[in-house]
Structure 1
Amino acid sequence: MIRKILTFPDPRLREVSKPVETFGPELQKLADDMIETMYDAHGIGLAAPQIGELIRMVVIDTRPRDDKGRRYKDEDMTELEKAVKQPLILINPEIVNGEGKTTYDEGCLSVPGYFETVTRNQVVEMKAFDVNGKEFRVKSDGLLGICMQHELDHLEGTLFIDHLSFVKSNKIKTQIKKHGYPPKQKDEETESAPEKAETK
């Protein structure tokens, strides 16, 4: 089922999500809904609080897709990205290690139409649980690594615009509160992070 995606300044996006304690069919159904909603919105990542569920769960699929949703060009992915099975479901995720620095022009389904450069770890390793309650670890760089960090922020009530300078962040927030969001272009895709990135 496709769920409504909350957009800033909805106060629920600022809440700190609670850990998942019960694993079962209901959690699997929520994960399925989140993945369906992410694909419908042409996104590459979605956190539970973005659909009003204040629990620590995210779904991610950064594999390249064409405008019809078909996968292509796996060779554009890094070796670490290729090693991760996607769509990826992370429940109660925690960062256990981060290395290096990289910059990406990030966007967000909850802040549609805005893209800004954000600094992240170049390589990130997380531990999390799957929908059956089994703990695992995942390590990645590239777009997947960026998206993992971006989505984890949502669980703390943080948006990518919070990583910008005070002046730039305040300007965007004020503009949205005063004028709303720009009209969506017919072919526009709003994603949690871009398909192209500059690494520094």
Structure 2
Amino acid sequence: MILEILKFPDPRLREVSKPVDKVTEKHAKLAKDMIETMYAANGIGLAAPQVGEIIRMLVIDTRPRDKEGRRYKYDEMTELEKAVTQPLVLINPVIVKGEGKTTFDEGCLSVPGYYETVERYEYVEIKALNEKGEEILVKSDGLLAICMQHEMDHLEGTLFIDHLSFIKSNKIKNQIKKYGYPVKKEEEEVEEEETESVKA
């Protein structure tokens, strides 16, 4: 089932998510719906707060794919990324190790049409539970590491625009307040943007 994705400035996006005490079938179903919603929106990550569920849970699939969802350009992934089975479900994720620095042009399904450069850890190790309630440890760099950090921000009520300078952040917020969000672009333009930025 495709869910509604909340958009800034919806106040629910600013709430701090609650830990999941016990993983149940309800969470597995939500994860499935979130993955379907993420694919439908052509995103690579989605956090539960973005669909109005204020719990510490997120889904990710950063594998390159075409419009039909087929994988392509597999060699563009790093060796660490290739070793991680995706789509990935992370419940109660915690960064246990973060190393290095990298920057990337990030976007967000909750702030559609806007992209800015954000600094993140280059390499992370994240401990979490999967949809079966099993403890997992994900070690990655590349786009997957960036996306996991982006989605984990949502669990704290933080958006990528909060990482920008006061001037840049305010400019985006004022544009949204004054003009709303851009009308959906032609497929070619969307595809071009997605090769250069993250939508999560």
The alignment's TM-score, normalised by the length of structure 1, stands at: 0.94
> 1:134: Cα distance to partner?
1.3
> 1:23: Cα distance to partner?
1.5
User: Residues 64-75 of structure 1: matches in 2 within 5 Å?
Assistant: 64-75=64-75
2:18 aligns to what SS in structure 1? coil
Q: Deviations over 1:72-120 (max 9, x none)?
A: 1211100000000000000000001100000000000000000000000
2:126 aligns to what SS in structure 1? strand
Which residue is 1:93 aligned to? Answer: 93
Q: Percent identity?
A: 71
CA contact (8 A) 1:143 1:195 kept: no
Letter in 2 for 1:159: L
Q: Decide which moves more: 20-29 or 143-152.
A: 20-29
User: Residues 1-200 of structure 1: matches in 2 within 5 Å?
Assistant: 1-187=1-187, 189=190, 195-196=195-196
Gaps of 5+ in 1: none
CA distance in structure 2 between the partners assigned to 1:135 and 1:166 by the alignment: 38
2:96 aligns to what SS in structure 1? strand
Over 3 Å counting, the alpha-carbon distance change for 1:189 and 1:58 in structure 2 is: farther
CA distance in structure 2 between the partners assigned to 1:165 and 1:52 by the alignment: 27
Letter in 1 for 2:106: E
> 1:150: Cα distance to partner?
0.2
Gaps of 5+ in 2: none
CA contact (8 A) 1:47 1:58 kept: yes
Letter in 2 for 1:43: G
Q: Decide which moves more: 175-184 or 58-67.
A: 175-184
Q: Decide which moves more: 111-120 or 176-185.
A: 176-185
The alignment's TM-score, normalised by the length of structure 2, stands at: 0.94
Moved >2 Å (runs of 4+): 193-197
CA distance in structure 1 between the partners assigned to 2:161 and 2:178 by the alignment: 17
CA distance in structure 2 between the partners assigned to 1:84 and 1:194 by the alignment: 21
2:59 aligns to what SS in structure 1? strand
1:95 aligns to what SS in structure 2? strand
